[in-house]
């Protein structure tokens, strides 16, 4: 096995609900760094906190709690760092509720409790593995620890996905040989999870349409050069929208002009 090692820090934004008031999108992002540079890059969190509050507090940085001018500081600091961003966004309006809604009437609801989270994770890990393969590396998948998620079940699900062919190929879409480990961690102990939180939050701000019909794509544009772009291709690779592609989305809405800027 190759000794090159990557760490992929994974966090999400939005919720998995379908009720009124739920988020329009469910987003999951990964910040991928070389293991040897992990600690150096993680120091950006202390730099951000020092600029925001002139104090390196132990409290984790939460994008959703920041004001616009504070978010600008976060993006300014992250833009200086060396990491690769891979994101997946599920447009819930066009998802089949019988497949993804955990409250759908089923005989065995527990089996589908994490359906949306698991599927979004599958799409993300597929792309992380392809990135790791191109880097001739193995990867550690490090998730923000959610008490509501069974990571044992998540491991089993991803293992299953690594054994069966994908819908458009004869080989599995997840390469198990690229995954070295999978574990949940807290933001307090793994600062780069706070970076993943900010990246997911920036994508959510670019996609969630407010009551005035607007979004704020400026933060995401500031991170544009961080996205994985194999062969110069962003859409479907570093940034995956599901189930519709960006063309269909832009046809329906006129507020996603940032899509032409990244």
For each of the chain's 262 residues, which pLDDT tens digit applies? 456 999 999 999 999 999 999 999 999 999 999 999 999 999 999 999 999 998 777 789 999 999 999 999 999 999 999 999 999 999 999 999 888 877 765 555 555 678 899 999 999 999 999 999 999 999 999 999 998 899 999 999 899 888 876 665 667 778 889 999 999 999 999 999 999 999 999 999 999 999 999 999 999 999 999 999 999 999 999 999 999 999 999 999 999 999 999 9
Task: State the pLDDT at residue 1.
Answer: 45
Q: Under 8 Å CB-to-CB from 177, ≥6 apart: which residues?
A: 1, 138
Give the C-alpha separation, 124 to 40, whole Å: 25
How far, CA to CA in Å, does 105 sit from each of 71, 75, 109?
40, 42, 8
Structure-block tokens of residue 90: 């599920």
C-beta atoms surrounding 253 within 10 Å: 12
Q: Return the closest-CA partner of residue 33 out of 135, 113, 164, 115.
A: 135
Pairing of strands 5-13, 25-34: antiparallel
Task: State the pLDDT at residue 170.
Answer: 66
C-beta atoms surrounding 87 within 10 Å: 29
Structure-block tokens of residue 134: 């191109």
What's the CATH number of domain 5-260, 3.40.190.10, 3.40.50.10860, 1.20.1270.30, 3.30.420.10? 3.30.420.10
Give the C-alpha separation, 25 to 93, whole Å: 8
Task: State the pLDDT at residue 112.
Answer: 64
- List, in sequence order, the alpha helices (H) in the chain: 38-42, 44-53, 68-78, 97-100, 115-134, 151-161, 192-207, 218-222, 246-252
The residue extents of the domains of the chain are 5-260
Structure-block tokens of residue 240: 């995956």
């Amino acid at each position: 096995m190759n000794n090159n090692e990557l760490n992929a820090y994974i966090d999400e934004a939005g919720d998995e609900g379908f009720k009124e008031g739920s988020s329009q999108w469910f987003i999951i992002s990964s910040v991928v760094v070389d293991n040897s540079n992990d600690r150096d890059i993680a120091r950006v969190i202390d730099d951000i906190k020092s600029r925001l509050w002139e104090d390196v507090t132990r409290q984790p940085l939460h994008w959703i709690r920041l004001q616009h001018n504070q978010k600008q500081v976060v993006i300014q600091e992250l833009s200086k760092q060396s990491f690769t961003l891979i994101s997946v966004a599920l447009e819930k309006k066009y998802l089949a509720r019988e497949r993804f809604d955990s409250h759908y009437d089923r005989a065995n609801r527990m089996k589908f409790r994490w359906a949306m989270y698991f599927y979004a994770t599958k799409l993300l890990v597929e792309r992380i593995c392809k990135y790791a393969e191109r880097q001739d590396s193995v990867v550690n998948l490090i998730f923000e620890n959610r008490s509501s998620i069974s990571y044992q079940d998540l491991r089993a699900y991803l293992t299953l996905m690594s054994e069966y062919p994908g819908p458009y190929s004869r080989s599995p879409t997840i390469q198990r040989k690229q995954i070295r480990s999978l574990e949940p961690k807290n933001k307090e102990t793994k600062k780069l999870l706070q970076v993943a939180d900010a990246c997911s939050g920036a994508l959510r701000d670019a996609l969630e349409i407010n009551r005035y019909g607007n979004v704020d794509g400026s933060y995401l544009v500031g991170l544009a050069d961080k996205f994985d772009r194999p062969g110069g291709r962003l859409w479907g690779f570093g940034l995956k929208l599901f189930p519709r592609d960006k063309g269909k989305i832009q046809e329906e809405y006129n507020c996603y002009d940032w899509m032409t800027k990244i």
